[in-house]
Structure 1
């Protein structure tokens, strides 16, 4: 083979290698541009979707209106139905000079007794400062436990015949892993300062004295719940003839009416139109951005799952 043929083949191989390299660079550049554009479109879409300046805000009006505040889901810190969110919304609604009545639209299984009590107390305080603005709780699917705690602070409570209402009780749940540890041959080593510091530890056997003490804590919380409901509902509550009313049972709306747990049947539109007399509804519910909710719930869910894995949840009105 001549030197010219060798050189020709070498140059062809080099040419192919260079062309392949250029082609790969172009392909990588195109994919890079594609992903950059895709990222830009995604971020722009997210901002457009979640920004309050892009139509995601609440409706407002300059005329007389019925204020609406949603109480949805679990009543707990870091949730949409936290005391901070609900109380802030209540204050804004009451401070609005055009608010002629306020509807609390409730669909919640309850939650923290502390958060529920904060909201209950604030409703009573604001009612005292603004006696001209009546508060109406409207229970949709569910108004149980801590949610009913809140509702009982309203001037009147409305529900559907099939709504679930009540559940006036307190619960604290957990698991015991002592038997499982014995079978697996695992020793629990807990070091504490304070005789009862680890009394809720699910990896240690129950102690009769500590169990009795914990029962007094739950009974105290239950009594506070009952006292608040009695204060809010007054003579309308027919608990003298119904000893099971505060037992934690939950009732249909139809049963709740007979028990004095609610005042009448109706939804939020009905209350705005027929009771308050102003069909224009302005929603004062505070809404966090999805980014904030994700950040909060991510941290809160880790703590919550850890507590569940450890077998304990604190007192809950649900």
Structure 2
């Protein structure tokens, strides 16, 4: 959703782009509680305060209310994508179905404007000259102690006589 506010959108050819839809995830533990012999005590104020509570059965009212909300947000999302992409967007039956595409397919469908990494974008599009790379790089000491620690942990049971080793 955030990307639709940008003037231009860039991705890698191998990026996964799209997924224009709305998703709600939840779990239902009603059957599990019954199988375990657990009874739940729930008190609320407000008839819908326990709306979609995972330990209570889902009602038709809850399903319908949630679906209505998801549909409203999906329509808002579609509107923003259409406004943001304008004439560049090629709409078909799958565009707003929640499917996603490779960056290559997204470029052909008008979902993105081109290919670029974040570094390329910073240098070539935004024109930032002094880019700081915050990628963690292990120094020699870190690599050595990590490997030494792993080797020692592997041999400790053998040293303590807890398991046979290869000698």
What TM-score results when the alignment is normalised by the length of structure 2?
A: 0.70
Matches within 5 A, 1:1-318: 149-239=1-91, 242-271=92-121, 274-275=124-125, 278=127, 280-281=129-130
Higher strand share: 1
Deviation string, structure 1 residues 157-180 (Cα, Å, up to 9, x no partner): 122211111111221211111111
Number of residue pairs the alignment of both structures matches? 132
Q: What are the Cα deviations for residues 104-152 of structure 1, in whole angstroms up to 9, with x where unaligned?
A: xxxxxxxxxxxxxxxxxxxxxxxxxxxxxxxxxxxxxxxxxxxxx2222
Distance 1:185 1:164, change over 3 A: same
- Indicate the structure with greater helix content: 1
Q: How far is 1:275 from its partner?
A: 4.7
| Greater Cα radius of gyration, structure 1 or 2 | 1
In structure 2, the gaps of 5 or more residues are 133-167
Cα RMSD after superposing both structures? 2.0
CA contact (8 A) 1:165 1:251 kept: yes
For CA contacts below 8 A with separation 6 or more, give which structure has more relative contact order: 2
Shift of 1:184: 2.1
Q: Give distance in 1, aligned partners of 2:12 and 2:33.
A: 49
Q: Which runs of 4+ in 1 moved over 6 A?
A: none
Partner of 1:78: none
Gaps of 5+ in 1: 1-148, 284-318
Q: Using structure 1 for the length normalisation, give the TM-score.
A: 0.38
